[in-house]
Structure 1
């Protein structure tokens, strides 16, 4: 794993917005011009921007004026995916053609009808496989075609975070293709202002990269969270990241695991950033720590951020500065109403507790034993090998966390990965190992669902499948085909 830096972030292809917005909208300040070219050689392509909104509005819309003017994307068929779980999707492509996912900006070229399933990964998950001589240039995705040969998916166009409006030199963009426990660096077919086109060789995690030696600017995301459990003061956490989903996902995960009550203020906006230090300032002046943060594109486990603290309530403004030229790159105004929005009579903790209780009660209603404190005299039949395989096929990249929630150790998971190369079979072996350790080896769907009750990103289809099994379905559907 690469060393952690106190800098900002790395990859997830979202697009962001410049332009002038009021109050909750951040404003990026950039006055350049742009040209649009389509060839990958000796060109001045324009910048990327994310398109569309996803089931949970994952995009920060990129409206860098120089890039917008040059970035007229082809008229692909726009498709809206089904969200399987957080950061995991599936979409049915109805026939030969080129389709663009409204949630991620991914573009798929297929030779026939296909059901495509894909997940956003964090670069920190693959950073140990990325040589130091390369840096991420967009999000990394794990893509799969369900029940068909991968060859039906001919090309994938990956959104990138590079700002190519005024390139100082010709860029070389490749992809990192993760295969089992190693990775290959593969060439791309073409790249444009917003996407990198890759010919599918096999399906496993892939993401765009550029050589570290190449100087490049990135569309940057400024993500502002307000901390509402910070005593009597007004506290904000401000993250910088390349404008791509992998890094935005990593920030979300870091925020959720922080133990603090941090709420996204949706002040995000796009600005062009390069790998150097930046400052955050405010009006009126508040306490801001640290004084500077380095914007980096290398995938790291922990992302650096500014903390801005004010003794008095809003309004106030935040400014991202380039200290080398004393120039404002981004600004946002926060009003008293913005801070109070989440403090109105919408008690999040109570709502969350009620929602959690309702979900637990709903699950208990379908369980043979409605009192979890009583012995399970009617837990149902033990899961068969076929049923375990059906469960395995619904799991995505989170299957390792599933194993940990089922009390397997990291050594168990490493042993499984070492002994089995096929990912689906790795998931199956993980479930079999859990089953063997269940008293009597008679693990049921109820046992499995209870063990995973607190796993937040358990796929919806996994939970539904286990519920169906608990309800006594004798003829189970092929969930892989319907995933």
Structure 2
């Protein structure tokens, strides 16, 4: 027997809503400069996340007081009632799910977290899922949250299901994650949101690409980023598939040129962040012109995703610079490394802001920067929010600068030892 707990969505709803409304929209402009991608964001700004074990993906965070806290890089949100210390780890579904009959009746719909928190400190937890609710094919009543405990697994009906999150109120913790009941009328064809990740390694003029097709789970993307970075592969940011894809379906990877692609077929499946992820390796060789990559459904032949790669896309996003102090990091993003020069030498800020509007800057931030009276004040105002930028945001800023001030960016790249491809 698998007991089911139903909180009926009562009790904490108003308190959760009030905490979410306290979340500041632009307070990060006052933050200290220690913010990192793994930090949680709360009512007073970033809260540092301590890495307990990088290899095992174990983290600890201490929230300073009541409020709503969100970590974009891990994908978790908490509403806490007081100061609280929370430990977060990742588990493999296979180690727990394979021991139950649930694998025949339920589908994994998000990462499996191992969360430890003080009893009563957490009013709500927002667990990420990648099921696509936009097309109306999935009923939110099919969602369950699995708790793997010593005596077995407990399935809990969530208080509510949002587009990207499943919400538990007054939660208890053990290895915990989102499952979806598989209905016989739908079978295994559950639409999910997915992402494509492309990485390149540049060895003189020989280019090698790694292409991933995965469910849209921040924790998996983070693990892949870290793995590829260790092998000196750099990520190229391209839009994800627009249409829903399906877990278990197979997709064909192809290119506009006759390139060596191994393997040419990828199965869209969920693997925990600690497991090796499937990818296609694409040998390009000398890249002197654009290449179009495509992903098509093996069964129907329908085009599901395509992206155009130009030689200019292969410009290193993270130039290496000498460390000034022995304890200083040797690897900085371009916009961090050249902040002073960019503030002093960027001459046309409004076109830059137009490219960042909606991608990096909110409407409020966009208007605040534009309201400054000089270009240098505008750039300082723009960089005042840079402490909250993820690496993806910094990449957007870098690309916008490349388009609006190409000669300045080329000069700064050459100063820092950056590589110019195809120019």
TM-score normalised by the shorter chain: which range applies?
Answer: 0.5 to 0.7
Partner of 1:341: 316
Distance apart, 1:201 and its partner CA = 4.4
Where do residues 419-430 of structure 1 align in structure 2 (5 Å cutoff)?
Answer: none
Give the secondary-structure state (helix, strand or coil) at the position aligned to 1:207: strand
Question: In the TM superposition, what are the counterparts of 1:373-384 in structure 2 within 5 Å?
Answer: none
> Which residue is 1:321 aligned to?
296
Q: How many Å apart are 1:281 and its aligned residue?
A: 2.0
Whether 1:139 and 2:126 are equivalent positions in the alignment is: no
Classify 1:79/1:182 alpha carbon distance in 2 versus 1 (closer, same or farther; 3 Å): farther
CA shift in 2, pair 1:79/1:194, >3 Å = farther
Mapped contact 2:252–2:297 kept (Cα < 8 A) = yes
Separation (CA, whole Å) in 2 of partners of 1:89 and 1:327: 44
Identify the match of residue 235 of structure 1 among 187, 190, 208. Answer: 208
With over 3 angstroms needed to count, the CA separation of the structure-2 counterparts of 1:193 and 1:238, relative to structure 1, is: same
1:225 has 2:199 as partner:
yes
Structure 2: which 5+ runs fail to align?
A: 1-8, 10-24, 29-33, 329-423
The alignment's TM-score, normalised by the length of structure 1, stands at 0.49
Deviations 1:7-30 (A, max 9, x none): xxxxxxxxxxxxxxxxxxxxxxxx
TM-score normalized with structure 2 length: 0.55
Q: Paired residue for 2:168?
A: 198
Q: Tell me, which stretches of 5 or more residues in structure 1 are unaligned?
A: 1-38, 40-50, 60-75, 361-483
Aligned partner of 1:162 among 98, 120, 131: 131
Q: For the structure 1 residues 103 and 297, does the alpha-carbon distance in structure 2 shift closer, same or farther, using more than 3 Å as the test?
A: closer
CA distance in 1 between partners of 2:92 and 2:229 (Å): 18
Show CA shifts across 1:144-190 (max 9, x none). 33xxx411313212121111111335351112223369643333222
Residue in 2 that maps onto 1:478: none
Counting only pairs closer than 5 Å after superposition, residues 16-415 of structure 1 correspond to structure 2 as: 56-57=36-37, 80-85=46-51, 88=59, 90-92=61-63, 94-95=65-66, 98-101=68-71, 103-110=73-80, 112-123=81-92, 126-127=95-96, 128=98, 131-133=102-104, 134-145=106-117, 149-171=118-140, 172-179=142-149, 183-212=153-182, 213-229=187-203, 233-252=206-225, 254-255=227-228, 260-267=231-238, 269-271=240-242, 272-275=244-247, 276-297=249-270, 299=272, 301-313=275-287, 314-341=289-316, 346=320, 358-359=326-327
Q: State the partner residue of 1:440.
A: none
Q: Distance in 2 between matches of 1:331 and 1:317?
A: 7
CA distance in 1, matches of 2:163, 2:303: 25
8 Å contact 2:109–2:129 — kept in the other structure?
yes
Give the distance between the partners of 2:146 and 2:44, measured in 1 at CA. 26
Whether the 8 Å contact between 2:91 and 2:114 is mirrored in structure 1 is: no
Runs of 4+ in 1 over 6 A off after TM superposition: 51-54
When the two chains are superposed, the root-mean-square deviation of aligned CA atoms in Å is 3.9
Cα 1:137/1:78, change in 2 over 3 Å: farther
Instruction: Kindly indicate whether the alpha-carbon contact (under 8 Å) linking 2:124 and 2:171 is maintained by their aligned counterparts in 1.
Output: no
Cα deviation digits, residues 266-306 of structure 1 (max 9, x gap): 33635422120112222233222222111013548332111
* SS of residue paired to 2:193: strand
Q: How many Å apart are 1:108 and its aligned residue?
A: 2.5
Q: Is the 8 A contact 1:278 1:321 kept in 2?
A: yes
Change (3 A) 1:227 1:100: closer
**How far apart are the structure 2 equivalents of 1:108 and 1:176?**
18
State whether residues 190 and 198 of structure 1, in contact with CA within 8 Å, keep that contact through their aligned partners in structure 2: yes
| Deviations 1:331-365 (CA, angstroms, capped at 9, x unpaired) | 32222232232697x37xxx6xx79x9359xxxxx
Q: CA deviation at 1:223?
A: 0.9
- Partners of 1:156 and 1:124 in 2: CA distance: 19
Q: 1:247 to 1:101 in 2, by over 3 A?
A: closer
Contact 1:254–1:302 (8 Å) recurs in 2:
no
Q: Aligned to 1:331, what secondary structure does the other structure show?
A: strand
Larger RCO of the pair (alpha carbons < 8 Å, separation 6+): 1
User: Hey, which of these two has a bigger chunk of strand by percent?
Assistant: 2
Shift of 1:129: 5.4
Change (3 A) 1:167 1:104: same
Contact between 2:75 and 2:128, CA under 8 Å: does it hold in 1?
A: yes
Residue 318 of structure 1 deviates from its aligned partner by 1.7
Tell me, what secondary structure is at the counterpart of 2:196? strand
Indicate how the Cα distance of structure 1 residues 56 and 214 shifts in structure 2: closer, same or farther if over 3 A, else same: farther
